[in-house]
Amino acid sequence: MNEIHESRSERDTEQIAERLAAELLPGTTILLHGELGAGKTTFVRGLASGIGVDPARVSSPTFTLIQEYRGRVPLYHVDLYRISGAEADDLGLEELFAGGGLVAVEWAEKLSRPPDRAIEVRLADAGEGIRTIAIQRG
């Protein structure tokens, strides 16, 4: 199932992600794609809010690679921006993917073996302050 949403603000992006989070089961992986500044971290803030985590706690884990947030289920926020694809394979993310939390992966295109049945989220600038958010469920 594919969905296309329009976002005119960070709050819109967060609300789209909040609604998605409300439907997600533990063990779900969300693969985020989009250029720098497309709103991937903002989307993760919305996911966090949707599981009961203060979205203000969410920041880009660029230097720590993985942040964990505790809500109704754990949320693991992974940012692969600063590493190569080979390094991504060495992180042991398979354990997170197989676990009982939600895993949101920014720069997911760096994964050589993305998990089966992951949800793909593509954020793109549509001009005039509008972003499109395409959600493809696996």
Note the pLDDT tens digit of each residue in 11-42: 999 999 999 999 999 999 999 999 998 999 99
Domain ranges of the chain: 9-110
Structure token digits, residue 96: 């997170």
Is it the case that residue 83 has pLDDT exceeding 80? yes
pLDDT band of 86, cuts 50, 70, 90: confident
The residue type at 4: I
State yes or no: pLDDT of 89 exceeds 80.
Answer: no
For the segment 56-82, what is each residue's pLDDT rounded down to a tens digit? 888 876 677 889 999 899 999 999 988
Mean pLDDT of 102-118: 91
The model's pTM: 0.92
Select 9-110's CATH number: 3.30.1330.40, 2.60.40.420, 3.40.50.300, 2.60.34.10: 3.40.50.300
